[in-house]
Amino acid sequence: MKKVKPDAIKAKTVRILLFSAIISIIQCDGPGAADFSPDPHEQTKTATPAGKLLILKYLLAKLGWESQHCDPEPLIIAILARFAQSKAIRIKRNHSPKPLFQLTSTLVTVVTVGDACTCQYHSMKTTHQDVLNYWFGGDSLDSPKLDGRMKLWFNDNISADKDMAQRFAAPVKSAIRGQLNDWAKTPEGRLALILLLDQFTRRIYYGRRDAYAGDTLALQLCAKGASCNMHKGLSPIQRLFFFMPLQRAESEKIQARSVQVYKAMVPKVSGTLHATFETFAMIAELRHDVIAEHGRFPHRNVALGRETSKAEAAASTSSVAA
């Protein structure tokens, strides 16, 4: 039996530990090298790609490897590929194929053959059309189909929320950081961006501060798009969500404008959609009334770390949560 030198065992152990650290960094959405939110009320601290890259480069240097990559994703893939080639990690065959993790635009799957493993990379880059297809169902919405979509849009659905988080958490973060602003060049792209910032945030981060992190940018996209008449390139149903940032604003002036916009949409639709558009207009009025009375949406107070006044506590505004 071949005797293994202690130094070789130690070296292999170190490499495996480093690999574990690399995987933890890739999978982790927690603190990285830098770039924490300066907001003291922020509950969720996230590592930036730059922060992860810094740590990964350090670990890479420890392994004696050099890389010219400046983007975290190809750097991470390069690391995994090297480990796969050197067989530094082994995965039981019955675990294969198994998704290892998902980056912003890459799904990495480990595939084993015997004791060796390889990594396969599948493009998962989300497009604005992916967002629209998910939200609107990909087809024109007549009344029966609209009923099905309403369940996704407005009913409490934990399963749907988990699916949305799994598929769109990364694009939502990118949208909040302004990394998808190129989408705003077209009416459909701008709408998809508004959906990520205005609708998906509230589902993915429900009850948390981050649920409202995209509101300011969504309102800017809506206002600028409307000033350029970009909403006219959308279907009536799509326009309901294009203007939704108006209903989120904690400003009586903007809420008054919201009521005008949604009331003006009602007579422009056919009979089958009339009731739906009337409902949206009614909700716009109710939200306006909340802002007129309180100057803000009281149901956000807990998530945003705001104190609730006696008047707010006595009022029932949760039915028009925005």
Six-digit token string for 222? 């809506």
> In this structure, what is the dihedral angle of CA atoms 112, 113, 117, 122, given to the nearest 10 degrees?
-60
Handedness of CA 180, 181, 186, 191 (dihedral sign): positive
Percent of the chain with pLDDT over 70: 58
Please tell me whether residue 155 adopts helix, strand or coil conformation. coil
Cis peptide before 6 (omega within 30 of 0): no
Full DSSP string of 216-227: HHHHHHHHHHHH
Question: Out of 131-140, 200-209, 228-237, which region has the weakest mean confidence (pLDDT)?
Answer: 131-140
Instruction: Let me know: does 307 contact 294? Beta carbons within 8 Å.
Output: no
pLDDT reported for residue 160? 81
For residue 12, name the pLDDT band (cuts at 50, 70, 90): low
Using a cut of 0.85, tell me whether the model's pTM lies above it: no
Q: Pick the residue with more confidence: 48 or 220?
A: 220
**Alpha-carbon span 120 to 110, nearest angstrom:** 6
CATH architecture, domain defined by 128-320: Alpha Horseshoe (1.25)
Of 68-82, 138-152, 230-244, least confident by mean pLDDT is: 68-82
Map out the domains of the chain as residue ranges: 6-123, 128-320
Give 303 or 126, the one with higher predicted confidence: 303
C-alpha pair distances (Å), 94 with each of 20, 90, 110, 115: 21, 12, 12, 11
Q: Are 48 and 32 in contact (CB under 8 A)?
A: yes
DSSP, residue by residue, 141-166: --HHHHHHHHHHHHS--HHHHHHHHH
Asked whether residue 248 carries a pLDDT value surpassing 70, the answer given is yes
Most confident of 17-21, 76-80, 91-95, 119-123: 17-21
Average pLDDT, the chain: 74
**Which pLDDT score, from 0 to 100, does residue 167 have?**
85
Structure tokens at 157: 């659905």
Number of neighbours of residue 22 by Cβ within 10 angstroms: 20
Q: How confident is the model at residue 151 (pLDDT cuts 50, 70, 90)?
A: confident
Whether pLDDT at 257 is above 80? yes
The mean per-residue pLDDT over the stretch 274-293 comes to 94
Secondary structure, 3-state, 36-103: CCCCCCCCCCCCCHHHHHHHHHHHHHHCCCCCCCCCHHHHHHHHHHHHHHHCCCCCCHHHCCEEEEEC
Listed residue (148, 150, 105) closest to 130, CA to CA: 105
Q: Residue 162: pLDDT band by 50, 70, 90 thresholds? A: confident
CA distance 75 to 165: 25
| Average pLDDT value for residue range 123-145 | 76
In three-state secondary structure terms, 5 is: coil
Measured between alpha carbons, how far is 169 from 205 in angstroms, rounded to an integer? 9
Residue pLDDT, tens place only, 170-213: 899 999 999 999 999 999 999 999 999 999 999 999 999 999 99
Binning the chain into helix, strand and coil, the percentages to the nearest 5 are: 65, 5, 30
Kindly report, residue by residue over 67-96, the tens digit of the pLDDT. 444 455 555 555 555 554 444 333 333 344
